[in-house]
Chain A
Amino acid sequence: MSGVRRLGAVTLASRLAAMAISLTAAAGAFFLFLQFGSADGLDSMDITRSVLILVSTSWLAWGAAHAILGLLTRARRPEGVRPNAPISGRTVILVPVYNEDPVATFSRIAAMDASLATTPYAGLFHFAILSDTRDDTIAARERLWFLRLLAERNGEGRIFYRRRPINRGRKAGNIEDFFQKSGGAYEFALILDADSLMEGDTIVEMVRRMEAEPRLGLLQTLPAVTKAKARFGRAMQFSAALYAPSFARGLAMMQGPTGPFWGHNAMVRVRAFVESCGLPELSGPPPFGGPVMSHDYVEAALLARAGWLVRFDDDLAGSYEEGPENLVDHAKRDRRWCQGNLQHTRILFAPGLRAWNRFVFVQGIMAYIAPLFWLGFILASIAAPFFVPPVDYFPVPYWPFPVFPSDETWKAIGLAVGIFGLLFLPKLLIGVDAILTGRAAGFGGPVRVMASTLAEIVFSSVTAPILMAYQTRSVLQVLMGRDGGWPTNNRGDGSMTLSEAWMASHWIVTWGIAGIAATYFLAPGLVPWLLPVALPMILSPLVIASSSRASRSGLFTAPLDLHPTPVLLAHEAILADWQSIPAPRAEAPLAVSHA
C-alpha cells in the first residue's frame, strides 16, 4: 500500500475550522478571565487560573466544533459503491466473550444468523465465538448453549466456538489468536462485542463497500444504543440516538483516511489486519506497560501507518450495542478506558504514525485529564484570595481622590455563560435540527424531543460532577501505578439500592462536603458558584440509586423504541423463547464436574 496520501479539501477545511473554533473560544475565555482576575491586581493565581480556563475551554470548544460541523452536512453513501452489487468475500463474524451470559450473547448470534439468511449471501458468512471466559461454570453453560445454537440454526460447519486456556493479550490477543489459526480462510472479519447486534443487510453492505475499495483496511459503523431500561441508561440511549450522529458526522468530516476504530461493530480486511496489527506487549508493568488495553485506537493507527484506509461510514444503519444501565457501571467501564487512553502516552511517539493518529491519542488522553484542569481551576479559585496583592487606592502620585478597582463581575458571568453555551448549545441546536428535518418524529415528535433534550441537559449537569469525581480518581489511580485489571462487564437491569449506591460513592459525598466547607471558610463569595458542583456530589448516592431505577416516563424516547428493526425483534423473540425453556442440561452438576 502507498504510504503517502493527500488529504481532501473538505477534510483539511474541517480540521482548520474546528481548530479555529477551539482556539478562538479558548483565547476569548483566557483574556476575559485574565481581565476579571486582574481587576484587583494581577497575581500568579490569576495567570494560573487563566491558563487552566484556556486549556479547559479549548477542549470543550473542540467537542462543540464536532457538532457544529456535523450539522452542516448530512451522512451520505460513499461514492463508487454500486447499490445491490453482488459480493463474494468470505467473512467471519467474530464474537469475543469474557464471562458473559451465553443465553443473551448466543441469542444475538442466532438473530444475526437469521437476518443474514434473508439475504442471498448467507453462505458466505461464518460466526466464531471466541471465549476467554475464566469462570468454569459460565464456560460449561457456553458449551451447552452453543450446542443449542447449532441445533436451532443448523449451524454445524458455519458457527464455531473455541475457548482459550490462557487469555493472553485480553480481547486483542483473543482476536489475534483466531487470525493466527484461522485467518487465512477469510477475506473479511466483522469484529463484534458480546452485546453487539447487526442487521444482515448492513453486514452484506459492509462487505460490498470493502470490495468496492480495495485500499480499505477497516470500516467502522456507528452503533446505536438499544434496550436501555433504567433512567440513566435511557438518558444515555437518547443522547446517543439524538446527538451522536451529529458529533460523529463532524468526526467523519475531519478524519480523512485515518478514521477511528472503536473495537466493535467494525469490519476489517483480514490481510491488512494481520500484516499491520500484531500488538506487542509494552515494556514494563501495567498500567503503562503490559498488554495494550485500548487496542482499537492503536490498531486504527497501525492500519493507517501501513497505508490502509480506515473509514467511518456514518450513513450505515442497522448497527447496535447495549450500554451501562447505571452510573457506577458506566464509571467502571470508564476506569478501563481511562487506563487504556493514558497508556497511549507510551505509544504517542511510535515511529511512522500519521500526525492525525497521534492527535487522536492526545484527544483520548485529554478526555480523561480535562476534569483535572477543572478541578485545578476550582482549587486555584478557592486559594486565590490569599494571593491578592493589597489594594492601592491611590495609584496616581499627588492625586487626592481614591481610585477604586473596577467591578469586572460581568466578565466572569459572561465567561460562565459562554462555557455553558459550549456545553449546551450544540445539544439544543441538534434538537432544533431534528425538528426542522423531521427526525424528531422518531423521538415522539417535536414537543417530546425538546422536552427530552432539556431533561437530558439537566440530567447530564447533575451527573457531570459525579462522573468528574470518578474520572479524577481513575486518573490519579493510573498515575499512582494501580492496574484496574480486566473486570467483567455488568449487564442486565443494573438497579441499585441506596446502600449499594452509598458504598460506591461515599467518598464523593466526603469530597463534596469538604470542598464546600473549605470554600465557605476560605472564600465564602465562591459558595454560590460551587454549589452546582458540590450539591450533586453530596447527593451522589441518591442520584446513583434513583437513576438506576427502571424508567416509566415517556421522556428519552428513541427511534428504536417506537420502530424496532427486524433483527432487534428477532433477538427479542429468540431471547424470550430461550429464557422460557429450561437450560439444555442441568447446570449445577456440570459446574461441580469442572471444579
Chain B
Amino acid sequence: MLHSADLLRPEANVAASAQEIEALVATLGAPPAAPCIMPKQQLEPARAGRMSLLRLFGVRAPRPGL
C-alpha cells in the first residue's frame, strides 16, 4: 500500500500497480468537501403567452435566497 510519503521515492511508483496509484491519487487528489447548492436557472421563456416586453427587459428573474 502506498503512503503519501512515497511520493518522494520514485521507486515506490515504479513498483506500484495501476490500482494502487489510482487509490493514492483518489486520496491525495480529493478536494475539500464543502458542498454548495447550485440551483438550475430558468433560461427558456416559461410559456409564450406569459412573455411580455416587461418580462423581457424589466422584471428580474427570481433569485434563490434573495
Q: What residues make up the interface of A, taking CB atoms closer than 8 Å to B?
A: 1, 3, 92, 126, 128-129, 140, 143-144, 146-147, 150-151, 156, 160-162, 176, 178-186, 270, 274-280, 282-283, 292, 298, 302, 305-307, 346-347, 349-355, 358, 584-585, 589-590, 593-594
Contacts and interface: CB of A to CB of B under 8 A. Distances in A.
Contacts of B1: none
A413 to B, nearest CB: 43
Interface string B26-61: 101111111111111111111000010001110111
Contact of B31 (A176, A178, A276, A347): A178
Interface string B8-42: 10100110111101101110111111111111111
Contacts of B39: 275, 278
Contact of B38 (A128, A277, A355, A589): A277
Contact of B7 (A92, A151, A275): A151
A391 B39 CA distance: 67
Contacts of B51: 349, 351
B33 A147 contact: no
B33 A347 contact: no
A1 B66 CA distance: 8
Contact of A292 (B19, B43, B65): B43
Interface centre among A140, A147, A185, A276 (most CB of B within 10 A): A147
Mostly, the B contact residues are loop
Nearest to A349: B45
Contact of A584 (B10, B38, B60): B10
Q: With a 10 A CB-CB cut-off, give which of B10, B33, B38, B66 has the most chain A CB atoms.
A: B38
B29 to A, nearest CB: 4
A143 B22 contact: yes
Interface residues of B, number: 45
Given A278-B41, A282-B43, A350-B44, A593 B35 contact: no
A144 B21 contact: yes
A277 B43 CA distance: 10
Name which of B16, B28, B41, B46 has the most chain A CB atoms within 10 A of its CB: B41
Given A275-B39, A350-B42, A589-B18, 12 more contacts: A3-B60, A147-B7, A162-B29, A176-B38, A182-B33, A182-B35, A184-B36, A275-B63, A276-B41, A347-B44, A350-B45, A585-B14
A147 B25 contact: yes
A147 B8 CA distance: 9
A280 B41 contact: yes
A151 B60 CA distance: 49
Nearest to B22: A143
A162 B29 CA distance: 6
Contact of A184 (B18, B35, B43, B66): B35
Contacts of A151: 7-8
A328 B42 CA distance: 36
22 contacts: A1-B63, A143-B25, A160-B31, A161-B25, A176-B38, A179-B36, A180-B38, A181-B36, A182-B34, A275-B63, A275-B65, A277-B38, A277-B41, A279-B40, A282-B43, A292-B43, A298-B43, A306-B61, A347-B43, A349-B45, A351-B61, A354-B57
A66 to B, nearest CB: 24
Contacts of B38: 176, 179-180, 183, 274, 277-278
